[in-house]
Amino acid sequence: MDARLNLFASPVAGKFLKQLIAAGTHLKDTGLPLSTQELVKIRASQINGCGFCLDMHTKEAAAAGESPTRLNLVAAWREATVFTEAERAALELAEQGTRIADAAGGVPDEVWAKAAEHYDEEQLAALMSLIALINAFNRVNVMVQLPAGDYQVGQFA
């Protein structure tokens, strides 16, 4: 399967993606735990059906030491006992921010307040930015049908 568009060969898409990648690099140094960042990226990518991002972020998380059990249970985080309360709050915010069109009024106040119990203002800003960023990547990749399975850890470093 080939993508509909070669994203990096396109001057427009290539410049756009380089900016998104740069934004993602900035978010790594915000104090938001890297494990939480990967879990959030995985959950949003599951919801959006982005195979490429799932391939990428599960491999990156595993390479960083994330356990197979936790990676396998991200989609069922509510029932799983392997996530901290802070991670649960981040995953809920990721779900609500990803499914924003499904809820009149956007993300509920109680979801934001629960996240604010675990993360300071800068970490919340990073979390919100990360959720927006992974949704942008998901949408681009799903639109062009970017194939999944061949991602190599550190490929875009």
Domain of residue 61: give its range.
11-144
- Mean predicted confidence (pLDDT) in 106-120: 96
pLDDT in tens, 42-96: 999 999 999 999 999 999 999 999 999 999 999 999 999 999 999 999 999 999 9
Torsion angle defined by CA atoms of residues 133, 138, 139 and 143, in that order, rounded to the nearest 10 degrees: 150
* Domain assignment of residue 155, yes or no: no
pLDDT in tens, 80-90: 999 999 999 99
Pairwise CA distance, residues 41 & 148, whole Å: 15
pLDDT in tens, 9-45: 999 999 999 999 999 988 988 999 999 999 999 999 9
* Domain assignment of residue 152, yes or no: no
Q: What is the pLDDT of residue 46?
A: 98
Q: What is the pLDDT of residue 111?
A: 97
Q: Is residue 8's pLDDT more than 90?
A: no
Number of folded domains in the chain? Answer: 1
CATH number for the domain harbouring residue 19: 1.20.1290.10
**pTM for this one?**
0.95
What's the chain look like in SS3? Answer: CCCCCCCCCCHHHHHHHHHHHHHHHHHCCCCCCHHHHHHHHHHHHHHHCCHHHHHHHHHHHHHCCCCHHHHHCHHHCCCCCCCCHHHHHHHHHHHHHHCHHHCCCCCCHHHHHHHHCCCCHHHHHHHHHHHHHHHHHHHHHHHHCCCCCCCCCCCCC
* Domain assignment of residue 16, yes or no: yes
* Domain assignment of residue 1, yes or no: no
* Domain assignment of residue 150, yes or no: no
Using only C-alpha atoms, what is the Rg of the chain?
15
* Domain assignment of residue 149, yes or no: no
* Domain assignment of residue 4, yes or no: no
How does residue 103 score in pLDDT terms, banded at 50, 70 and 90?
confident
Task: Please give the share of the chain, as a percent, with pLDDT higher than 70.
Answer: 100
* Domain assignment of residue 109, yes or no: yes
